[in-house]
Amino acid sequence: MSAGERFLPYGRQSIEADDIARVAEVLQADYLTTGPLIARFEEAFAEAVGARHAVVSNSGTAALHLATHAAGLGPGDVAIVPSVTFLATANAVRYVGAEVVFADVDPENGLLTAETAEAALARAGAMGRPRAILPVHLNGHSVDMVAIRALAERQGLAVIEDACHAIGGSHPAGNGAMAAVGACAASDFACFSLHPVKTITMGEGGVTTTSDSAAFQRMSRFRSHGMVREAAQFEQRALAFAPDGEVNPWYYEMPEPGFNYRATDFACALGLSQLGKLARFAARRREMRARYDRLLKPLAPIVRPVRPTSGDAVLHLYAVLIEFDMLGLDRAAAMRRLKDEGIGTMVHYLPVHMQPYYRHRYGTSVLEGAEAYYRRVLSIPFHPGMSDADIDRVVAALERLARRAHAA
Ligand SMILES: *Cc1c(COP(=O)(O)O)cnc(C)c1O
């Protein structure tokens, strides 16, 4: 890294002065939590992704747990999860006592396919009743939801999209139509994260979208201890109502225990402000992707972008596949070399079936597509704060790496 060149992390939030002002306003207002910003953010989010309902929570992990719970998953049930994802996709299945069957992925883009899902289903029977499938739109590239929906309908599975990487994009929804990611056109739930490294942020935060009003109510309750405050739903009428028929002012009920997954009002203020920038951030991400795609072409086959899928993706991560065998340099050494040039990279992800917890629980298995993807993948710097010159700098560093392979 020469003097004056910034370190480029693989991802980073883009916070602007108006984001800070919106948060500061809420910090001086009456409600820091359970205030008016919660519903305002949820309504704006639902509108932005074309969803009927949106429930905000305090992480993408909570958003996934709200969905697995509302889908009615529990002990004796099995859910299909692609192995190449963040831990939370699989953990959300375990939180409700269901078992995970890891599906293999396409080695060229890390995505679940109808074929790998079917192969996982064939293994699932021994572990319980298959009840759900959790496609992950890895890096922002969409899983083929039309094929997954068809499979889910044949097998009676709930579909929970892990859309944490895919906000702002759209994908084929059947009959030639396109739908926004999050509209749940071919799924029961879609889950988002607003962690700082994601496309928009609220510090920590998550959103679950659904078309199902009953599931929406259930998730809203589960997010806040399982508490019910609507008089019409009270079960213990003698405790709930005074002799004059009025609701006792202190009264609430808990039909089933929930969690405290509430987002704060100031986080929602940040989320609302960032949501207003989604179109601009998405446009910049599309431009940046096009520049990387074009400039990386000459580096194939040693370095090439992961294979895209149909749909209009807004990428969260820019992932390349590198043939480290041809480089004569292993991945850790390549990452250190890039870091010395001011370029941050990361691996997304170690396949989850290789984590000790899941190995101990389910035994060691081999998923060849996942492992082939994992061996070659590297996320390179990609966030709207980067200039075209920053992208050129990353490509030049990758070119120097690739040239070693030709020299070797
Ligand atoms: C970030 C992420 C999550 C979890 O979100 P948090 O907000 O960090 O809890 C889940 N799945 C995927 C694919 C993610 O990238």
Q: How confident is the model at residue 357 (pLDDT cuts 50, 70, 90)?
A: very high
DSSP string of 324-342? HHHHTS-HHHHHHHHHHTT
Q: How confident is the model at residue 3 (pLDDT cuts 50, 70, 90)?
A: low
The pair of structure tokens assigned to 16 is 């602007």
CATH of 17-275, one of 3.40.640.10, 1.10.10.60, 3.30.70.2190, 3.30.70.270: 3.40.640.10
pLDDT score for 258:
97
pLDDT tens readout for residues 246-266: 999 999 999 999 999 999 999
162 lines ligand 1 (CB under 6 A): yes
86 lines ligand 1 (CB under 6 A): yes
187 lines ligand 1 (CB under 6 A): no
DSSP state for residue 136 in the 8-state scheme: B
Strand 206-210 with 303-305, pairing: unpaired
Angle at CA of residue 399, ends 395 and 404, nearest 5°? 155
Query: Could you give the CA distance from residue 362 to residue 351 in angstroms, rounded to a whole number?
Result: 14
Higher pLDDT, 140 or 403: 140
Taking CA atoms only, the protein residue closest to ligand 1 atom 3 is 60
The class level of CATH for 278-407 reads alpha beta
pLDDT tens readout for residues 130-150: 999 999 999 999 999 999 999
Sign of the C-alpha dihedral, residues 308, 193, 211, 256? positive
Every domain of the chain and the residues it spans? 17-275, 278-407
Assess whether pLDDT exceeds 60 at residue 367: yes
pLDDT score for 126:
84
Test site for ligand 1: of 58, 84, 86, most ligand atoms within 8 A of the Cβ = 86
Q: How confident is the model at residue 406 (pLDDT cuts 50, 70, 90)?
A: low
Residue of 106, 19, 58, 61 whose CA lies nearest to 263: 58
The residue written with tokens 């995505």 in the block is 111
The pair of structure tokens assigned to 83 is 């192995």
Q: Where are the beta strands (DSSP E) in 66-187?
A: 77-82, 99-103, 129-133, 158-162, 170-174, 177-180
- Whole-prediction pTM: 0.97
Percent of the chain surpassing pLDDT 70:
98
CA 315 – ligand 1 centroid, Å: 15
Q: How crowded is the C-beta side of 5, counted as CA atoms within 13 Å?
A: 17
The residue written with tokens 């560093």 in the block is 397
Residue type, 169: G
Catalytic residue among 198, 277, 297, 339: 198
Taking CA atoms only, the protein residue closest to ligand 1 atom 4 is 60
**What is residue 353's three-state secondary structure?**
helix
CB 217 within 8 A of CB 258: no
**What is residue 239's three-state secondary structure?**
helix
pLDDT tens readout for residues 200-248: 999 999 999 999 999 999 999 999 999 999 999 999 999 999 999 999 9
60 lines ligand 1 (CB under 6 A): yes
| C-beta pairs of 226-230 under 8 Å, 24+ apart in sequence | 226/254, 226/255, 226/256, 226/257, 226/258, 227/252, 227/253, 227/254, 227/258, 228/252, 228/253, 228/254, 228/255
Q: How confident is the model at residue 175 (pLDDT cuts 50, 70, 90)?
A: confident
198 belongs to the catalytic site: yes
Can you tell me the mean pLDDT for 347-365?
96
